[in-house]
């Protein structure tokens, strides 16, 4: 503060906070605090005060909106239109990285699909083995980082050829999230959908509409019936023409005629996808016999355009001849 012949200039005063003790004396905010504190330290930097519920509610809602702008995690129903008879191939439980995985078979199937018009892929999870603990890790030809590079290259190859429709998250590939890595992050930037849990596809083939419901893993298991989880799903999520899942490594297909209201009926397909890994340390430990090729690999369906009819193929190579 500047004094000239007992005059205090207003411009000087306005630079500081304080009070006028009398018309000629001004005491700054800092000076007052020093006197009142009796020598204690003064916290001059402003502190952040607690926020009320309204603030936090608004903040979380804004954050949720921003998250949804770049995340497909809530996508569980998509519609895709096709022209002409269309083949959809289901591939899952590849377990890339395992010493026993049939890599040559997987490559042949992918090549056949890419070379076949109107043939597309739904990936059904567990594309990689993903073990980062022992003793399972001891039976891997490549470790988790290289397995994910293989998986990303496979997805890129299918995407560039416009063959990939949907990718489902599984268990083994999901373990990467424990290490802070999202193996399906690339789905944000490619022309395919990502789903986790039960998902639905409305496939419109010319004038025919096929309702397809699936997941990597569905509840239920039966020693006597490989498609038991699918039949259970049909009771819990009704109305689909085709139900599919993986996870159990128990390949199977069955059909059932389901009566509907008003005397109508429809045929429903239940598809359990086979694995590309015939055995591993865990399977041997609990007493599962090694699988042969007739029990393994993905499968396919052909959706006809002129009539609502589903043709099932147990062999992807035959479906794409």
Same structural domain, 20 and 156 = no
Same structural domain, 167 and 275 = yes
Contact 218, 228 (CB under 8 A): no
Domain count, the chain: 2
Output DSSP code: residue 106.
Answer: H
Q: What is the reported pLDDT for 176?
A: 65
Mean pLDDT by 10 residues, the chain (321 residues): 48 65 80 71 80 94 90 86 98 93 97 98 90 72 86 93 94 69 69 92 98 96 92 93 96 92 90 94 86 95 97 98 95
Same structural domain, 280 and 179 = yes
Same structural domain, 32 and 78 = no
Residue 66 falls within a domain, yes or no? no
Q: What is the pTM of this model?
A: 0.81
Q: What is the reported pLDDT for 182?
A: 64
Residue 62 falls within a domain, yes or no? no
Residue 32 falls within a domain, yes or no? yes
Same structural domain, 78 and 32 = no
Same structural domain, 13 and 79 = no
Same structural domain, 10 and 154 = no
Inter-axis angle of helices 103-114 and 144-160, nearest 10: 20
Same structural domain, 96 and 214 = yes
Same structural domain, 15 and 144 = no
> In Å, what is the CA distance from 237 to each residue of 122, 125, 245?
20, 20, 14
Task: Report the candidate in 228, 209, 187, 236 with the shortest Cα–Cα distance to residue 72.
Answer: 187
State the DSSP string of 111-158. Answer: HHHHTSTTEEEEE-S--B----STTGGGGBSS-HHHHHHHHHHHHHHH
Same structural domain, 12 and 134 = no
Ramachandran quadrant class, 319 (left: phi over 0; alpha: psi -120 to 50; beta: rest): alpha
Helix (H, G, I), strand (E, B) or coil at 203: strand
State how far Cα 31 lies from the chain centre.
61
Same structural domain, 231 and 109 = yes
Helix (H, G, I), strand (E, B) or coil at 64: helix
Same structural domain, 150 and 26 = no
Residue 184 has φ and ψ, to the nearest 5°, of: -105, 20
Residues paired with 310 in a beta bridge: 303
Q: What is the reported pLDDT for 243?
A: 98
Q: What is the CATH classification number for the domain harbouring 116?
A: 3.60.21.10
Domain that holds residue 17: 3-37
């Amino acid at each position: 503060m500047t004094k000239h012949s007992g005059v205090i200039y207003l411009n000087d005063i306005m630079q500081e906070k304080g009070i006028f003790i009398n018309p000629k004396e001004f005491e700054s905010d800092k000076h007052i605090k020093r006197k009142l504190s009796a020598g204690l330290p003064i916290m001059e930097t402003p502190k952040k005060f607690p926020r009320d519920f309204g603030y936090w509610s608004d903040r979380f809602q804004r954050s949720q909106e921003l998250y949804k702008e770049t995340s497909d995690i809530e996508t569980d129903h998509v519609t895709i239109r096709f022209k002409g008879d269309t083949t959809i191939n289901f591939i899952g439980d590849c377990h890339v990285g395992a010493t026993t995985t049939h890599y040559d078979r997987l490559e042949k199937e992918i090549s056949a699909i890419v070379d076949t018009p109107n043939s597309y892929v739904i990936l059904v999870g567990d594309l990689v083995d993903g073990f980062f603990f022992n003793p399972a890790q001891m039976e891997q030809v490549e470790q988790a980082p290289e397995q994910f590079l293989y998986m990303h290259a496979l997805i890129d190859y299918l995407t560039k050829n416009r063959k990939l429709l949907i990718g489902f998250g599984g268990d083994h590939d999901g373990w990467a999230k424990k290490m802070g890595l999202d193996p399906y992050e690339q789905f944000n930037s490619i022309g395919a959908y990502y789903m986790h849990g039960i998902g639905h596809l409305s496939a419109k083939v010319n004038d025919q509409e096929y309702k397809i419901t699936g997941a990597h893993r569905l509840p239920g298991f039966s020693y006597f019936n490989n498609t038991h989880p699918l039949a259970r799903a049909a009771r819990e999520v009704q109305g689909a023409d085709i139900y599919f899942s993986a996870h159990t490594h128990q390949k199977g297909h069955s059909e059932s005629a389901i009566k509907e209201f008003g005397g109508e009926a429809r045929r429903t397909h239940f598809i359990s996808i086979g694995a590309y890994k015939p055995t591993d340390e865990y399977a041997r430990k609990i007493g599962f016999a090694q699988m042969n090729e007739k029990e393994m690999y993905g499968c396919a369906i052909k959706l006809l355009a002129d009539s609502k009819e589903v043709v099932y193929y147990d062999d992807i190579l035959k479906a794409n001849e």
